């Protein structure tokens, strides 16, 4: 690995650690500041990825564990406490020491690193929000994935493909937002093009090629695997060859989807045109934290169907 790249990493990591320190100082004054919690998560995510690129795998693994802990805070499943802030500052020092140990600094006590991570996890567990994902949790998402898989498996023998496409279009859109709300960014991003294809087919009554239903089953399996990924890593997970192989299959599936999307035929009798203006009244309760809350949840959902005007909320 080039010394120049390692030196660049050392410099930029120092800047990110300073940013982490600033975020923690802000959280001391306002523990519910979601922007600073996001900032804390992004710092760990960036250091993890950058360290792996320059083969500082011990730094990457430590940062990855912290990133996973911060993700609980980011999703609203746990709350920032004074103890978490104290331990995050200790973890900040651990990351700094780990990095410097690769540049002539003293070796780091691995038992101390493990102790800090355990204390951080214990502090996070003590602030966990009960039933935080009650409305949009693991069980609901898993059931939906199975239901979609069952419908896709019936595609060849289904008597009404328009009805099947409509049902799948609704389910894929719902699944997409379940993934977004639970911060499963990789799975949501991978699903987004397939969801858009089925959504358009449902609205415009397009005729989907039979091969697309088979491909959708393969892509759903990939989504399921991404969704159930525990996030735990070992040193081999930072092997560039392994990373490229893991990326290759999703890329191949998306390439096949792009080819099949070109074969989609419009409905023979033409789609029924909807009125250009709709007025929609939504009455809803917030039932748990997530990546999308309040107005954002509805604006981002409806924006996938067309232009959305400014929304208002009315407190109960």
pLDDT digits (tens, 9 = 90+) for 108-167: 999 999 999 999 999 999 988 755 444 447 778 889 999 999 999 999 888 898 899 999
Mean pLDDT of 267-294: 54
Mean pLDDT of 87-108: 95
Crossing angle of helices 294-302 and 161-181, rounded to 10°:
150
Under CATH, what is the fold of the domain 138-261? 1.20.120
CA distance 217 to 194: 11
Residue 223 token pair:
């989504």
CA distance 184 to 297: 15
Under CATH, what is the fold of the domain 3-126? 1.20.120
| Residues 6 or more apart in contact with residue 282 via CB below 8 angstroms | 298
Q: Judge contact between 23 and 40, C-beta under 8 A.
A: yes
Least confident of 71-75, 227-231, 240-244, 268-272: 268-272
Question: What is the CA angle 17-21-25, rounded to 5?
Answer: 170
CA distance 109 to 247: 35
pLDDT level of residue 316 (50, 70, 90 thresholds): very low
What is residue 315's predicted lDDT score, i.e. its pLDDT? 52
207 pLDDT more than 90:
no
What is residue 183's predicted lDDT score, i.e. its pLDDT? 77
Residue 39 DSSP SS3: helix
1 pLDDT more than 70:
no
Q: pLDDT averaged over the chain?
A: 83
**Which stretches of the chain are DSSP H helices?**
3-29, 34-53, 57-74, 82-100, 110-126, 138-153, 161-181, 185-204, 210-227, 240-261, 294-302
- Name beta bridge partners: 265: 207
What is residue 30's predicted lDDT score, i.e. its pLDDT? 92
Is there a common fold for 3-126 and 138-261?
A: yes
CA distance 169 to 171: 5
- How much of the chain exceeds pLDDT 70, in percent? 77
Mean pLDDT of 12-29: 94
CA distance 142 to 86: 36
Mean pLDDT of 297-313: 55
237 pLDDT more than 60:
no
Q: 73 or 2: which carries more pLDDT confidence? A: 73
What is residue 271's predicted lDDT score, i.e. its pLDDT? 47
Least confident of 50-59, 196-205, 269-278: 269-278
- The domain limits of the chain are 3-126, 138-261
- How much of the chain exceeds pLDDT 90, in percent? 52
What is residue 287's predicted lDDT score, i.e. its pLDDT? 47
Q: Judge contact between 164 and 198, C-beta under 8 A.
A: no
The pLDDT tens digits of the residues spanning 38-66 come to 999 999 999 999 999 999 999 999 999 99
């Amino acid at each position: 690995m080039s010394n120049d790249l390692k030196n660049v990493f050392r410099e930029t990591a120092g800047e990110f650690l300073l940013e982490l320190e600033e975020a923690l100082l802000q959280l001391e004054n306002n523990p519910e500041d979601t922007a600073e919690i996001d900032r804390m998560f992004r710092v760990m995510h960036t250091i993890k990825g950058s360290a792996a690129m320059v083969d500082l795998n011990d730094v990457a693994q430590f940062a990855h564990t912290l990133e996973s802990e911060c993700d609980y805070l980011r999703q609203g499943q746990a709350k920032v406490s004074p103890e978490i802030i104290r331990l995050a500052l200790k973890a900040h020092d651990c990351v700094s020491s780990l990095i410097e140990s690769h540049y002539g600094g003293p070796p780091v006590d691995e038992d101390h690193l493990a102790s800090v991570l355990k204390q951080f996890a214990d502090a996070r567990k003590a602030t966990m929000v009960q039933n935080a994902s009650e409305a949009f949790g693991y069980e609901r998402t898993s059931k939906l994935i199975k239901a979609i898989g069952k419908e896709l498996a019936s595609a060849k023998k289904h008597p009404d493909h328009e009805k099947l496409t409509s049902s799948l279009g609704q389910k894929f859109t719902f699944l997409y937002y379940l993934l977004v709300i639970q911060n499963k960014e990789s799975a949501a991003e991978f699903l987004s093009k397939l969801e858009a294809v089925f959504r358009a087919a449902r609205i415009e009554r397009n005729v989907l090629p039979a091969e697309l239903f088979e491909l959708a089953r393969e892509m759903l399996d990939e989504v399921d695997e991404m969704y159930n990924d525990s996030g735990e890593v070992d040193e081999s997970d930072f092997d560039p060859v392994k990373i490229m192989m893991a990326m290759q299959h999703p890329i191949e599936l998306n390439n096949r989807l792009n080819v099949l999307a070109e074969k989609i035929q419009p409905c023979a009798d033409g789609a029924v045109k909807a009125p250009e203006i709709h007025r929609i009244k939504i009455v809803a309760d917030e039932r748990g934290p997530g990546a999308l809350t309040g107005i954002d949840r509805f604006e981002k959902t409806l924006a996938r169907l067309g232009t959305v005007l400014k929304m208002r909320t009315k407190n109960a």
